[in-house]
Chain A
């Protein structure tokens, strides 16, 4: 109430001459500047919206530590030379970053009308989506690093050294980017927050019908068949190779290919949804 009263009394003293400055005129900012501006806004919103990231990192660390306590003894006793902590770290990373994106924020922009404000500006339409996706990569890296630190703290060691760790983080972030495309596609297609939240369901087949908890050889029947078709299986193998197999070109290529295939599908979907959303006809 006080703020309203103050605003009315001071509005009459505002310098309107400055509003009409001749040295201020709009121009296209450029593709890169557009993306940076949108990404910057998306990133600034993360600390104000911690509920979108805290549960993800909590779940990842929780299951990482609980699974180690539950399954280490069992698996290491079954397989000679097997280190469950090293095996499980990539699973924890994917649990942490899969499905974490600014898609729910984008759908709120659509609902609040802020998306229209963006469309009314000269900003490139593709930059609206690219900016969010780049912000998601940054958020994913910020989520991976603490999980990685916990892994190192409990004894996980990388055969590929620091360079391997960097590739590990990058692969995890690229996976996050690939998966987040589905959330944006749903957000832009429906404009419905509930529908966006339901994209979380995709998480289960991708993350659990695979070698999340035991090596592929230990799987049996239909699950083994499904896992061999699941791209996450190859991503996990690539990540695990960096931890305890050394530089394995085949596994790394398969991991990258898996991310690229999922990413190509999801990004095609989300950019098609963007085109539909901004279509003026």
Chain B
């Protein structure tokens, strides 16, 4: 029975060629003199997972709060599920599910009470709201904990209950604002798995913001990189990473890395060199065949190499090339609990040479 329902869902919802699930044009949000979002154009297809990647303060959450109707845009237009966020926010709310950055839960209710109440708020008849609470409770697998007050839940349990609450009314578009921030690696992997199943098995459109490169890389069909309230790059993770070269050689030197640029000027196979502080990022088509020539060239110029790393590009490299900063530094500064994320996708792709 459930498989049949599942198939129907996929057939009816897995549409990517129709009208966009999310469409924005020159979306702007200002707070007094501060421009949080500075003219964003987005087209997210139905059935797509779109990752909105950027450091803290880049404008990710403000964009999401506008799309979810919590904040009105200062200018520009946006449609979500075909409904205008400014002209008809009430219609938008019927079509979207939202899990905000901080799990928006009432600590004194039990998990079951919260899910049933959520169903009632979305106009589900009492019996349907109860059934949905049971189905979603089973899906997130919190077991007997659902009968206990939410205040006693772990961070991972809260986040999964928050996700279930966002799904009570079977939304067309699911918004996830930094869904794994603050979670331990196991809980993070569980949330990823659930998000992927919602998309691949139900065809749900998912818009997620994240400051974790790995999360965007693993989950998103397409990634928009935002910095300073503007989208600075957009594409599939592979496309974005290819844009900075096939392989990267990272060189850390004593002092400024600027001399590295001149030193590698004539080295065959080097596509480009960028220096950021004491680090130089060398783009190559085939890193393993070029690395020895790089070492020789640096040695000839008496540049003291402290660390040399050969790896494939990450989204952080894309961000670095576009903005001159790394997202990863910002993310780790703000989330020291998230060290050691589980290896999934293209996470740990380094080969270090010292």
**Interface size of B in residues (CB-CB distance below 8 Å):** 71
B141 in the interface (beta carbon within 8 A): yes
**Interface size of A in residues (CB-CB distance below 8 Å):** 49
A20, B9: Cβ atoms closer than 8 Å: yes
Q: Which of B9, B103, B121 contacts A29 (CB 8 A)?
A: B121
Q: Which of A20, A117, A120 contacts B170 (CB 8 A)?
A: A20
**Complex CA distance for A16 and B10, rounded to whole angstroms:** 11
> B171: nearest residue on chain A (CB-CB)?
A26
B194 in the interface (beta carbon within 8 A): yes
Say whether chain B's binding surface is mostly helix, strand, loop, or mixed.
helix
Shortest CB-to-CB span from A263 to chain B, Å, is 27
Whether A19 contacts B121 in the complex (CB less than 8 A), given A8-B190, A11-B141, A24-B132, comes out as no
A26, B123: Cβ atoms closer than 8 Å: yes
> B71: nearest residue on chain A (CB-CB)?
A280
**Complex CA distance for A114 and B118, rounded to whole angstroms:** 11
B2 in the interface (beta carbon within 8 A): yes
Q: Which of B113, B138, B170 contacts A14 (CB 8 A)?
A: B138
User: For chain B residues 65-119, which have a beta carbon within 8 Å of chain A?
Assistant: 68-72, 89-90, 93-96, 98, 100, 102-109, 113, 117-118
A37, B121: Cβ atoms closer than 8 Å: yes
B237 in the interface (beta carbon within 8 A): no
A25, B169: Cβ atoms closer than 8 Å: yes
Q: Which of A13, A14, A114, A121 contacts B106 (CB 8 A)?
A: A114
Q: Which of B5, B135, B140, B171 contacts A22 (CB 8 A)?
A: B5
B-contact 0/1 string along A27-38, CB 8 Å cutoff: 111100110010
Give the interface segment out of A40-48, A136-144, A162-170, A267-275: A40-48
**Complex CA distance for A34 and B90, rounded to whole angstroms:** 14
> B138: nearest residue on chain A (CB-CB)?
A14
Whether A10 contacts B141 in the complex (CB less than 8 A), given A15-B2, A37-B121, comes out as yes
Whether A17 contacts B138 in the complex (CB less than 8 A), given A112-B104, A113-B102, A121-B118, comes out as no
A33, B120: Cβ atoms closer than 8 Å: yes
B198, A16: Cβ atoms closer than 8 Å: yes
B105, A112: Cβ atoms closer than 8 Å: yes
Shortest CB-to-CB span from B88 to chain A, Å, is 12
B6 in the interface (beta carbon within 8 A): yes
> A4: nearest residue on chain B (CB-CB)?
B154
A121, B197: Cβ atoms closer than 8 Å: no
Residues in A whose Cβ lies below 8 Å from that of B72? 280-281
> A281: nearest residue on chain B (CB-CB)?
B72
B108, A49: Cβ atoms closer than 8 Å: yes
User: For chain B residues 120-148, which have a beta carbon within 8 Å of chain A?
Assistant: 120-124, 128, 132, 135-136, 138-145
**Complex CA distance for A8 and B113, rounded to whole angstroms:** 22
B213 in the interface (beta carbon within 8 A): no
B193 in the interface (beta carbon within 8 A): yes
Whether A114 contacts B124 in the complex (CB less than 8 A), given A41-B117, A280-B70, comes out as no
Residues in B whose Cβ lies below 8 Å from that of A12? 141, 193
User: For chain A residues 141-178, which have a beta carbon within 8 Å of chain B?
Assistant: none
A7 in the interface (beta carbon within 8 A): yes
B197, A120: Cβ atoms closer than 8 Å: no
Residues in A whose Cβ lies below 8 Å from that of B8? 22
B-contact 0/1 string along A116-135, CB 8 Å cutoff: 11111111000000000000
B339 in the interface (beta carbon within 8 A): no
Whether A17 contacts B122 in the complex (CB less than 8 A), given A4-B154, A10-B143, A22-B8, comes out as no
| Known A27-B94, A27-B122; 18 more pairs at CB < 8 Å | A3-B143, A7-B145, A10-B141, A14-B141, A16-B6, A17-B6, A18-B138, A19-B198, A20-B202, A22-B170, A24-B169, A25-B94, A45-B109, A114-B104, A119-B70, A120-B70, A122-B123, A280-B70
Which residue numbers of A lie inside 8 Å of B, CB to CB? 3-4, 6-30, 33-34, 37, 41, 44-45, 48-49, 109, 112-114, 116-123, 280-281
